[in-house]
Amino acid sequence: MSEVKLTVNGRAVTRDVEDRTLLVTLLREHLGLTGTHVGCDTSQCGACTVHIDGHAVKSCTVLAAQVDGSEVVTIEGLADGASLHPMQEAFRTHHGLQCGFCTPGMIMMGIDIVQRHSSLDEETIRKELEGNICRCTGYHNIVKAIKAAADDMAVGTPSMAAE
């Protein structure tokens, strides 16, 4: 067993977990943050993507013990009260989701993409999304949503409040 102390969505948490516990298991089963999903067992689908210290990471690839002392943000921590993050808003406005299962990972990845690129074209967004699989949308509207959110975030919306 290991004691893990970390900050999740701004809240300090401490848990004793089995050494083999994955971060995604800690989030879903120990903390009840079920918005982060598990869609595969080979770290390919990206449904479990969260932010660790500001970077998008697949939470099925890290042990909970490895993120001791880190700051983790999940899909539940993005909105500032009733006001949605521009990436969330863009996914809704552009119909960037259907069944919603891959969506939390897509949104977390989308934010990471925008943060790492000063300007974004369709080709870059598509390449950057390679680690996130969606079976419903054909990506068409996901790409549109990320582009639109990038434009919104660039004009200085106070969108990173939650981070």
Partner 1 sequence: MGEGIGARVLRKEDQRFITGKGRYTDDISERDMTHGVFVRSPHAHARIRSIDASEAKNVPGFVGIVTGQDLIDGAIGNIICGWMIYSKDGSAMKAAPWKVMDPEIVRHVGQPVAFVVAETRAAAVDAAEAVTVDYEELPALTNFHHALDPGAVEVHPEAPGNLICDWQLGDEAATDDAFAKAAHVVELDLEQNRLVPNAIEPRAAIASYNVAEEHYTLNTTSQNPHVARLCLSAFYNVAPEHKLRVIAPDVGGGFGSKIYIYPEEITCLFAARVLERPVKWVADRSESFLTDAHGRDHKTKAKLALDADLKFTGLKVETIANIGAYMSLFSSATPTYLYATLLSGQYTTPNIYCNVKLVYSHTTPVDAYRGAGRPEATFVVERIVEAAARKLGVDPIELRRKNFIREFPYQTPVLMAYDPTDFDALVEKGLAHADHAGFPARRAEAERRGKLRGMGFSCYIEACGLAPSKAVGQLGGGVGQWESAEVRVNPVGTIEILTGSHSHGQGHETTFAQVVADRLGVPVGNVAIVHGDTDKIQFGMGSYGSRSGPVGMGAIARALDKVEAKAKVIAGHLMEADPSDIVIENGELKVAGTDRKLGWHEMTLAAYTAHNLPDGIEPGLTEKAFYDPANFTFPAGCFVCEVEIDPDTGITRVVRFVAVDDFGVIVNPNVVEGQVHGGLAQGIGQALYEGAYYDDAGQLLTGSYMDYCLPRADDLPSFSLDHVETPNPNNPLGVKGCGEAGAIGAPAAVINAVTDALRTEAMTMPATPEKVWRAVQAMRAPIAAE
95 touching partner 1, by CB under 8 A: yes
Identify the residue among 72, 111, 143, 149 touching partner 1 (CB under 8 A).
143
E-assigned strand segments in the chain: 2-8, 11-17, 49-52, 55-58, 71-73
**Should residue 117 be labelled a site residue for partner 1 when binding is judged by CB under 8 A?**
no
C-alpha neighbours within 13 Å on the C-beta side of residue 20: 0
Torsion of CA 6, 24, 134, 127, to 10 degrees: 50
Q: For partner 1, which residue of 49, 59, 70, 74 counts as binding (CB under 8 A)?
A: 74
Residue 52 vs 136, nearer CB to partner 1: 136
Measured CA distances, 87 to 14, 79, 100, 154 (Å): 30, 10, 14, 12
Separate counts of helices (H) and strands (E) for the chain:
5, 5
Q: Which of residues 52-71 bind partner 1 (CB under 8 A)?
A: none
138 binds partner 1 (CB under 8 A): yes
Total number of residues that touch partner 1 (CB under 8 A): 55
The contact mask relative to partner 1 for 20-39 (x = CB under 8 A, - = no) is x-------x----xxxxxxx
Best CA proximity match to 152, nearest among 97, 92, 100, 105? 92
Contact segment (CB under 8 A) with partner 1 among 51-59, 64-72, 97-105, 153-161 equals 97-105
State the residues that interact with partner 1 by CB under 8 A: 18, 20, 28, 33-42, 44-45, 47, 74-76, 78-79, 84, 88, 91-93, 95, 97-104, 107, 122-123, 125-127, 129-130, 132-143
